[in-house]
Amino acid sequence: MKKINLIYVLFFAIIFSCKENTKQTTVKEVTIADIDTTTVRKHLYTLASDEMEGRGTGTQGIEKAAQYIESKFKKFGLKTYDTLNNYRQTFTFTNRQTKKEITASNIIGVLEGKSKKDEYVVVSAHYDHLGIRNKEGQLDSIYNGADDDASGTTAVLALAEYFSKKKINERTILFIAFTGEEMGLIGSNHFGKGIDSTKFVAGINIEMIGKESNYGPKTAWLTGFNRSDFGTIIQKNLEGSGYVLHPDPFQKFNLFFRSDNASLARLGIPAHTFSTGPIDVDIHYHKASDEPETLNVSNITETIRAIAIGTESIIKGEDTPTRVVLTVEEMTGRRKKKK
């Protein structure tokens, strides 16, 4: 009798432990709420910390930022790009002001598409900023570049984590942290030179999303809104989400050509920049005071979620934005001579 009882106990113990196991292996569904303020705060405060020394291109500080981004790409299981054997696209260029040779790296992670592997969507931000500048009478010499553009780089990392878990991308996504943007779109320009632009379906660039936009809470704006139908696709996908995308309110600043999207747009790729920056009144813009404490982490989180929802149909291969058409002057980046 005792033996039989023991067998029963063992039998139920095995069944129970099997049930427990299946419970543990059930994968939790990935939702937009997984992009949360805790994750956003962590990336933002790390990238904009004094330890990164303002992430000046070619410095030790930006090297720390590069390593942080690489460690996250590795953690999310991203692959390397094209013929590269790590996440770095390294190159040298001459600094126009100092005439010094600088070695710099774009950091590129690839999430391969399920069915449309040869159709690329770029999700990018620049991870460089102005570095350390000693100015007379100024106590703080570190230009942390929290809004510009640790906030955008945070978005690239959060979107890389989200889409790598969500696994809905029929198209291949290239997550890129560009270098040398502040020196004149150097990193994105270098990247653009080496690509077959016909394979690139869209460019999603993110700049300064740490402050509420001029249109109010839960809004962002897009540069070059009328240059392709990218913006109207995003607007359609955001319907009912409570978040609204507007055209760029600062036409006079020519912002479409002032961030890394321009290096891709010049090749005809519908590449635009998302931003919420109130740059007409922003007292911290390109100042040492662009610190993470001046930013609204909820604004960043909500904007990243909106970008994920807004671009989903492009990433899934359901929508293909029209190509950007530019004038010769716009394509070459040359300005018309003033008479």
Least spacing, CB of residue 104 vs Zn ion, in Å? 16
Least spacing, CB of residue 207 vs Zn ion, in Å? 5
Chain centroid to Cα 39, Å, comes to: 14
Minimum CB distance to Zn ion smaller for 53 or for 148: 148
Minimum CB distance to Zn ion smaller for 125 or for 297: 125
Least spacing, CB of residue 125 vs Zn ion, in Å? 8
Instruction: Give the list of residues 6+ apart from residue 236 with CB closer than 8 angstroms, or none.
Output: 313
Query: What is the H or E stretch that residue 125 is in?
Result: strand 116-126
* DSSP summary character for residue 149: I
Least spacing, CB of residue 229 vs Zn ion, in Å? 25
Residue 183 phi/psi, 5-degree rounding, is -95, 5
d(CA 181, CA 89): 15
Instruction: Give the list of residues 6+ apart from residue 242 with CB closer than 8 angstroms, or none.
Output: 218
The edge-to-edge listing of strands for the beta sheet with 88-94 is 88-94, 101-111, 171-178, 116-126, 200-206, 271-275, 219-222, 244-247
Residues across the chain = 339
Minimum CB distance to Zn ion smaller for 70 or for 148: 148
Residue 275 phi/psi, 5-degree rounding, is -150, 160
Least spacing, CB of residue 28 vs Zn ion, in Å? 35
Minimum CB distance to Zn ion smaller for 149 or for 319: 149
Minimum CB distance to Zn ion smaller for 40 or for 201: 40
Minimum CB distance to Zn ion smaller for 78 or for 158: 158
Least spacing, CB of residue 259 vs Zn ion, in Å? 6
* DSSP summary character for residue 97: T
* Residue for token pair 């990433």: 315
Instruction: Give the list of residues 6+ apart from residue 281 with CB closer than 8 angstroms, or none.
Output: none
Interacting residues with Zn ion (CB under 5 A):
148-149, 207
Least spacing, CB of residue 227 vs Zn ion, in Å? 20
Minimum CB distance to Zn ion smaller for 113 or for 277: 277
